[in-house]
Amino acid sequence: EEKTGSITDGFVPLQVEAGKTHTYILQLKFFKTGFNEIKSTLIPREQFKFFKNELYQSLNEKKTAGILLSGMLLMMILVALLNYYITKKAEFLYNALYSMCMFLLIFLTNFLVMNPGWFKGIFISYLDLLLLITGTILYIQFTRYFLNTKEQYPKLNKFLILESQVISILMILYTILHF
């Protein structure tokens, strides 16, 4: 019985001689997500580098759109930080942090789309939701400061505070249940 140890990049190296058959038993740890997938592909050792390069580096319409959207969000972050620097208004800082969460969400989703590594599993199973919830809370804060709801719309302000608290509690519960 031969053990290969921990596989961290998603690829399991095997050697099969011509005309021989082997039985392999893999013990796998799946992430808590609906996107777990096992795909078996035999690749000659000399082609493996090219296979990984094609897997990670190939561009398609979805990746191109993700790169463009990430670039736009990066520009939004810079503009919001510049506005914060000039005016010292908190709403621009909240907007920059919200844009940063959305940038990370879109960029990492786009970057990890064909990456079979462990970080993709953690990202898809937990970190993407954390970025989405954090971004939502930051956008609510941006809205509260931008509209001056504390003075202009006190009922709306209370509702937005309550909404942020409920979303935060739900994220904490999800974190406890997830781990």
pLDDT at position 9 is 65
Q: pLDDT tens digits, residue range 85-140?
A: 999 999 999 999 999 999 999 999 988 877 777 788 888 889 999 999 999 999 99
Whole-number Å distance between alpha carbons of 97 and 147: 18
CA atoms within 13 A on the CB side of 76: 16
> For 124-138, how does the pLDDT look when each residue is reduced to its tens digit (9 = 90+)?
889 999 999 999 999
pLDDT of residue 173: 96
User: Nearest to residue 14, comparing CAs of 32, 31, 26, 30?
Assistant: 26
